[in-house]
């Protein structure tokens, strides 16, 4: 069942666009608010307090350890390439491509953490 509306699709596209503008701008900005909002938007229509609580806790921890302040530019570019793929897949209802992009995207955080140790 598709829960996201066409308005949600437009919001996701706008978040990706804004993130790319920040990453490609001068000076470069970290698109953290767009990152957080994108992930929360994808799941918000589930209306599941457990999922919402997990996502909020994840983002609070992400910010607590400072991942919202400094990250390698190449890493950020890779993250937003996956976000672009995920949003494109959501908007075209390509579940397989969306799942693949999400799976690969979630592996990136493990790479980031292990490379900083």
Q: How many helices (H) and strands (E) does the chain have?
A: 5, 0
Model confidence over 32-50: pLDDT tens digits? 999 999 999 999 999 999 9
Q: Specify if 102 maps to a domain.
A: yes
53: containing domain? 6-115
Q: Evaluate whether 22 touches 34 at the Cβ level (below 8 Å).
A: yes
Q: Evaluate whether 98 touches 42 at the Cβ level (below 8 Å).
A: no
pTM attached to this predicted model: 0.86
Q: Percentage of residues in the chain with pLDDT exceeding 90?
A: 66
Q: Evaluate whether 12 touches 39 at the Cβ level (below 8 Å).
A: no
Instruction: Indicate the number of domains in the chain.
Output: 1
Q: Specify if 1 maps to a domain.
A: no
Of 12, 71, 68, the residue nearest 39 (C-alpha): 12
Q: Specify if 16 maps to a domain.
A: yes
């Amino acid at each position: 069942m598709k829960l996201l509306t066409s308005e949600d699709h437009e919001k996701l596209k706008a978040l990706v666009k804004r993130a790319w503008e920040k990453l490609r701008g001068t000076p470069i900005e970290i698109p953290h608010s767009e990152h957080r909002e994108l992930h929360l938007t994808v799941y918000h229509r589930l209306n599941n307090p457990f999922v919402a609580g997990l996502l909020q806790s994840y983002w609070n921890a992400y910010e607590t350890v400072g991942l919202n302040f400094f990250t390698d530019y190449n890493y950020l570019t890779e993250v937003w390439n996956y976000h672009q793929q995920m949003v494109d897949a959501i908007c075209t209802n390509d579940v397989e491509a969306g799942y693949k992009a999400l799976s690969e995207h979630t592996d990136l955080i493990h790479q980031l953490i292990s490379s900083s140790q």
